[in-house]
Amino acid sequence: MGNSQDEFLNSGWRGDSVTGYVFGIMRRQFWVLSLLPLVAVGLGFVFIIVTEPLYTATAAIDIQIDENRGTETVSQLSTHIARIQSDQITMRVIGDLDLDTVFESRVGRLRSGIRQLRQKLGFEDNVDVSDPESQAILITNVLSGLSVGQLGDTSIITVSYTSPSRSQAVAIANAWANAYVDLIAAREERIAARRVEILHTRTDEVSRKLAAASQSAQDLLARSGFNVIHSQELENRAEVFRDRLSSISSDETAVTARLRMFSVENASTSRTVASLISDDAAETRVQLAQAQSQLDQLRSRYGESGASLRQTENAIATLHQTLDLALERAREEQELELAVLAAQREGIIGELDRILGYSRGGDWFNLRKAEQDVEIYQDIYQSYLNQLENFLQDDVVVPVSLATEARASAAPSFPNYTVILVLAAVTGIVAAVMLAFIREWMRAQAVNGRASARPLTGG
């Protein structure tokens, strides 16, 4: 019977009947193949029961990317992520939520029990947060449950926190996100307030300079003796005087030409002179022409009496005297007009020389500089006022905002019950198969050893 059993084992191991050999192994190693997976699954259940579940809550922060900055979106988001994980935000969250001085985000039941036991025995004291070293430990412990990252390719940053308590994970995640949003909002408000303060300071400074420049310009204008409120008026007045001088010069030339007409022969018959005399003198001139024509007719008649000729000649002489008086008055009027133009020209030249003389002095340079300063300061002052008005009317733009608040999750993020049980079952099956094959190999080695030893003993 021993030989038949050995032959069966040897034939199965050598591969003569693989299927039979496998079934033989399954039959012989039934308890190993059955119990080991069950033990592994049981250990998985024990791990699930012993391990304290961890819950993860996630809040989302929307970041407004500044397109005017030279940095890329990823760089700006990386800066925000680093700031969210800073010690400043961590200590603010610890203060807002009044967290324990000794805080461990992922403490298990075993560790928690040991810690409580050490505290009862006096081996572990509460940590003083004011101590820099203890504060660093506290920050490290609180940060251990934090996870901050970019959501895909968007400009949204997720703030996740993992804790054994659902409510604690939600509270810390929301507190962390709100703390950063509030910090940035406070920073923007401080920046805006500082800008307004700077603008107020600059506005007051420019206002003082504007008042000083305006007073200087007014003093220089008052000292100049000209009844003007701006140097441009003097320049305009000088230009008007120049135009007036040009017009007077033209008028003087015309009047002088008309006066020459009075000195020429037959001035009484000149059309130019005729346009200068009065209407009565013009009528006299017409009558003189008629009388002259009548005298010529009388002289051309034969046998005309001398009395008629003398009467007409006397009338012509009288008309000549009247016309000469009219021409003399017209000439005197032209001379008077020429004298008036000369007086006007002298007065304008004197006033123009006075303006030009002032414009060549140092006061004129100081006046122009003071007025230029006034214009510059007025523009700057108005610009500052407009900026102040815009700052006061516009709301402070905060580049970050809370996109989504964290909410409590129904299932823990760790451990994953399904994954652990499946992994335990697979591990148990693999281990059982390996153990079964090892046991069969050891059994075959023992059978072969007995077979080789039998001829030596003579059995």
Q: Tokens standing for 346?
A: 């002298």
Number of helices (H), then strands (E), in the chain = 14, 4
pLDDT value of residue 206? 93
Q: Is residue 314 part of a domain?
A: yes
Q: Tokens standing for 34?
A: 């059955």
- How many CB atoms are located within 10 Å of the residue 299 CB? 12
pLDDT value of residue 133? 67
Report whether pLDDT(209) > 90: yes
Q: Specify whether 117 is located in the same domain as 161.
A: yes
Report whether pLDDT(34) > 90: no
Q: Specify whether 34 is located in the same domain as 169.
A: no
Q: Is residue 69 part of a domain?
A: yes
Q: Which helix (H) or strand (E) holds 159?
A: strand 156-163
Q: What is the DSSP letter of 126?
A: P
The set of residues, in sequence order, having a beta carbon less than 8 Å from that of 286 and lying 6+ positions away, is none
Query: Average pLDDT, stretch 384-400?
Result: 82
Number of independent structural domains in the chain: 3
C-alpha distances (whole Å) from 62 to each of 58, 65, 174, 246 are 13, 9, 14, 76
Q: What is the DSSP letter of 63?
A: E
Q: CA 163, CA 169: separation in Å to the nearest integer?
A: 5
Helices (H), ranges, 225-305? 231-263, 271-274, 279-300
Q: Tokens standing for 111?
A: 């560790």
Q: Is residue 265 part of a domain?
A: yes
* pTM (2 d.p.): 0.57
Among 134-138, 217-221, 289-293, the range scoring the smallest mean pLDDT is 289-293
The set of residues, in sequence order, having a beta carbon less than 8 Å from that of 299 and lying 6+ positions away, is 309
Q: Specify whether 440 is located in the same domain as 345.
A: no
Q: CA nearest 95: which of 138, 147, 52, 31? A: 138
Q: Is residue 205 part of a domain?
A: no
Q: How confident is the model at residue 328 (pLDDT cuts 50, 70, 90)?
A: confident
pLDDT value of residue 102? 40
Q: Specify whether 175 is located in the same domain as 273.
A: no
**Span 74-117, pLDDT tens digits:** 788 888 999 999 988 988 888 888 876 445 444 555 556 666 66
Q: Tokens standing for 260?
A: 């020459």
Ramachandran angles phi, psi of 438, nearest 5°? -65, -40
Q: CA 273, CA 253: separation in Å to the nearest integer?
A: 16
pLDDT value of residue 340? 92
- CATH code, 240: 1.10.287
**Span 330-384, pLDDT tens digits:** 778 888 988 999 999 999 999 889 888 888 888 889 989 999 999 999 999 999 9
Q: CA 346, CA 241: separation in Å to the nearest integer?
A: 11
Among 284-298, 320-334, 359-373, the range scoring the smallest mean pLDDT is 284-298
Query: Average pLDDT, stretch 270-292?
Result: 61
Q: Specify whether 68 is located in the same domain as 180.
A: yes
CB 115 within 8 Å of CB 173: no
Q: Specify whether 129 is located in the same domain as 65.
A: yes
Q: Tokens standing for 416?
A: 């994953």
The set of residues, in sequence order, having a beta carbon less than 8 Å from that of 143 and lying 6+ positions away, is 85, 90
Q: Is residue 36 part of a domain?
A: yes
Q: Is residue 213 part of a domain?
A: no
Q: What is the mean pLDDT of the chain?
A: 79
Output 416 or 455, whichever has higher pLDDT.
Answer: 416
Q: Specify whether 96 is located in the same domain as 35.
A: no
**Span 145-203, pLDDT tens digits:** 899 998 888 889 999 998 888 888 899 999 999 999 999 999 988 888 898 899 999 99
Burial of 380 (0-12, 13-18, 19+ CB in 10 A): middle
**Span 425-445, pLDDT tens digits:** 899 889 888 888 888 788 878
Judge if the upstream peptide bond of residue 415 is cis by omega within 30 degrees of 0: yes
pLDDT value of residue 7? 44
- CATH code, 107: 3.30.1890
C-alpha distances (whole Å) from 366 to each of 218, 224, 231, 358, 370 are 11, 12, 11, 11, 6
Q: CA nearest 286: which of 263, 268, 309? A: 268
- How many CB atoms are located within 10 Å of the residue 226 CB? 16
Report whether pLDDT(255) > 90: no
CB 145 within 8 Å of CB 43: no
Q: Specify whether 67 is located in the same domain as 47.
A: no
Q: Specify whether 171 is located in the same domain as 236.
A: no
Q: Specify whether 192 is located in the same domain as 236.
A: no
Q: Is residue 212 part of a domain?
A: no
Output 7 or 446, whichever has higher pLDDT.
Answer: 446
CB 234 within 8 Å of CB 354: no
Q: Specify whether 18 is located in the same domain as 91.
A: no
Domain that holds residue 433: 2-51+417-453
pLDDT value of residue 376? 94
Percentage of the chain with pLDDT > 70? Answer: 76
C-alpha distances (whole Å) from 111 to each of 50, 94, 125, 129, 266 are 11, 22, 16, 22, 141
**Span 112-139, pLDDT tens digits:** 666 666 666 665 555 554 556 667 878 8
Burial 35-61 (b: 16+ CB within 10 A, else e): ebbeebbeebeeeeeeebebbbbbbbb
Q: Specify whether 148 is located in the same domain as 189.
A: yes
Q: Is residue 163 part of a domain?
A: yes
Q: How confident is the model at residue 280 (pLDDT cuts 50, 70, 90)?
A: low
pLDDT value of residue 126? 54
Helices (H), ranges, 301-361? 306-359
Ramachandran angles phi, psi of 93, nearest 5°? -65, -40
